[in-house]
Amino acid sequence: MLALAGCVSRTGGPVAESSSPATETETSTSGTDETVVDDDGCEFVGKPDEDAPVGLPPTEPLGGDRVLLSTSSGEIGLQLTPDETPCTVRSFLHLVSEGFFDGTECHRLTASAGLKVLQCGDPSGDGTGGPGYTIPDELPTDLADAPTGQGTKVYPRGVLAMANAGPETGGSQFFMVYGDSTLPPDYTVFGGVDGTGLATLDAIAARGLTPTLGPEDGTPTTPVEIESAATA
């Protein structure tokens, strides 16, 4: 779900729907048209045409700012930023607490000069899935300008960000940057990857990818499954 222009597509991250790191386009039934506004003023909007298997996030904070992803390729520790991005972190912790990410595959790996990310968080495994609701954007304002200009920014190595399919469409798909990447400032940065996690990402990237969206954009050659996600 990275929807970066020319990087991810589908839903969830820095890629245009089909070539940016995050785009998503969930489709299902039995959804909800409910809207929840929490204590931080975060508005979570249910999608009536999609399943919401875990419901909308609670109105009270769940607490915690660290999550450990135990994957088939090793552990990835995530440090979250609840003070800077309360809505995104609230939703992410809600999904973690409900076991939403457990048993899901990281469906996208990119390896171009300007985009090096691993994208995860889609229960469908193909870049079209999500939690059945959307979360508000909390876009970064402090990223450095990219050398290429044109309004793009540098998402540095170690960044954790949300994928999306356009404004206010984020859900569950997220991407982790293992090498400095150039993207529009359209993706919420809600934390970072720790040193051990970066080593795991490097190992995943080193094993290569199977091209599906382009010569340097596809699926990890060795499947990467999030076996469990838990607060740490």
Q: pLDDT tens digits for 117-128?
A: 999 999 999 999
pTM of the model as a whole: 0.87
Q: pLDDT tens digits for 134-156?
A: 999 999 999 999 998 889 999 99
Average pLDDT over residues 50-68: 85
Considering only the top CATH level, what class is 8-53+64-231?
Answer: mainly beta
Report the pLDDT value the prediction gives residue 16, as an integer from 0 to 100.
35
The domain ranges of the chain are 8-53+64-231
First to last CA, the chain: 26
Which residues have CB under 8 Å from 169's CB, separation 6+?
A: 11, 24, 134
Please state the three-class secondary structure of 93-134 as a single string: HHHHHCCCCCCEECCEEECECCEEEEEECCCCCCCCCCCCEE
- From the number of C-beta atoms within 10 Å of its C-beta (0-12, 13-18, 19+), residue 206 rates as exposed
Q: What is the mean pLDDT of the chain?
A: 87
The token pair at 95 is 């999904």
